[in-house]
Amino acid sequence: MENRRTPEDRFVEAFRAWADRPPRLDPSAAAKVVVSRLGERRRPPQQLAWALATAAAVALGVASLLMVRTASPPQASQQAGTVLANPTLAEGQVLIWLDEHTSLHMTYAAPDAAAR
Partner 1 sequence: MAGGGNDAALVRAAQLGDDAAFSALVERHWRRLVGLARSVVGDVDAEDVVQDTLITAWDRLGDLRDPAAFRAWLTRSVARASVRRARRRAWLRPLGPLDDAADPRVEDRNGEIQVRQLLRRLAPRQRVVMHLTVVEGMSDREIGETMGIDAASVRSHRRRARTVLRRLLPGEGG
Query: Could you list the residues that contact partner 1 (CB under 8 A)?
Result: 6-8, 10-12, 14-16, 18-20, 22-25, 27-28, 30-35, 37-39, 41
Residue with Cβ nearer partner 1 (18 or 88):
18
Minimal CA–CA distance to 99: which of 112, 82, 111? 82
State in angstroms the smallest separation of the CB of 8 from partner 1.
Answer: 7
State in angstroms the smallest separation of the CB of 1 from partner 1.
Answer: 16
Residue with Cβ nearer partner 1 (5 or 105):
5
Residue with Cβ nearer partner 1 (2 or 91):
2
Residues 29-47 as b/e (b if ≥16 CB within 10 A, e otherwise) read eeeeeeeeeeeeeeeeeee
Please check whether residue 92 is in contact with residue 107, taking contact to mean a CB–CB distance below 8 angstroms.
yes
